[in-house]
Amino acid sequence: MRAAGFLSVCVDLALGEPPSSMHPTVGMGRLISAGRSRRTSTAPRRSLIEGAAAVAVGAIATAVTATLVERMIRRTPQPGRSIAEGAVLKPALSVRGLLRAAESVENALERGRLHRARELLSWHLVSRDTSKLSVSGVAAAAIESVAENFNDGLVAPLFWYRAGGLSAAYVFRFVNTADAMIGYRTADLEWFGKTAARLDDLLAFAPARIAAILIAIAATITGDSGGDALLRAFLDAENTASPNAGWPMAAMAGALGVRLEKVDHYVLNRPARLPRGTDIRRARKIVMTASMLAALLTEIA
């Protein structure tokens, strides 16, 4: 149902997230939290097995639920079928909320409220410590989040929807949510979250590279540098520890002509200038354009 993907992107860009009480990812988060609370060991092997089991149970439950819903929708005649599937797919996507969160950081920087910008960045966009970030550091982190989450929040779920329907899209969403909750290299989660982290790397591999290409095309449309976006994606994508996050982030760095840096972790587009608050607006515009391109690609692919 090609139109369903297109409709879901348009609805997301227009309306944003459904209420938390109706959001499937809230239920996914509860499943993951339940699995974590039931773990019985912090030993590496046992933790790895328990973490893998928690992810497997959640992914299977997600796939079964989505498949049942999909079968019910298929009994609906067109055009209601596409509308219904688009509505069900919509919660797997999240771009408008991302763009609005970035805009709030941008507005705080424009008003000279650095402390507030740091707070908003920490609350809505990144998990790192933001308390000592400079203006350029806050702008860089916001731009990085916009670029990376363009893949996680739109391109990857759409990719898997086109590959395997609602069940594939929601399994990706579950795995991505699990990675965000437990996929950390800390003493407590290093082994328990390893399955979620590795699965997320695998499922986001192709979408991340597609996202970089879409950012480059969108940059050409918005008057930024599509050529530099592609160049930096190929040159700098491997600078990040993640095998996927570097692709859309490096592409965005090249498109904007700015250096994106997470201290002691990576530098993207090193020769360029430091970003400013106004560059967040440019990044938002590129991602909005790239989102519409992704919606059109879903329609014709």
pLDDT in tens, 125-174: 998 899 999 999 999 999 999 999 999 999 999 999 999 999 999 999 99
Q: What is the number of structural domains in the chain?
A: 1
**Beta bridge partners of residue 273, listed in sequence order:** 258
What is the rounded distance in angstroms from the CA atom of residue 146 to the CA atom of residue 125? Answer: 8
Q: What is the dihedral of CA 138, 144, 146, 148, to 10 degrees?
A: -150
Please determine, for residue 301, whether its predicted confidence score (pLDDT) is greater than 80: no
- 2: confidence class by pLDDT, cuts 50, 70, 90: low
Helices then strands (H, E): number in the chain?
13, 2
| pLDDT reported for residue 216 | 98
Q: For residue 219, what are the domain limits?
A: 2-300
Give me the phi and psi of 60, to 5 degrees please.
-65, -45
Residue 88: other Cβ atoms inside 10 A: 20
Span 52-109, pLDDT tens digits: 999 999 999 999 999 999 999 988 888 888 899 999 999 999 999 999 999 999 999 9
Span 174-221, pLDDT tens digits: 999 999 999 988 888 999 999 999 999 999 999 999 999 999 999 999
| pLDDT reported for residue 118 | 97
What is the rounded distance in angstroms from the CA atom of residue 232 to the CA atom of residue 271? Answer: 11
What is the rounded distance in angstroms from the CA atom of residue 18 to the CA atom of residue 16? Answer: 7
| pLDDT reported for residue 300 | 80
For 16, 37, 91, the CA distances from 50, given in Å and listed in that order, are 35, 11, 28
Task: Return the SS3 of 267.
Answer: strand
| pLDDT reported for residue 183 | 92
Contact 208, 233 (CB under 8 A): no
pTM: 0.94
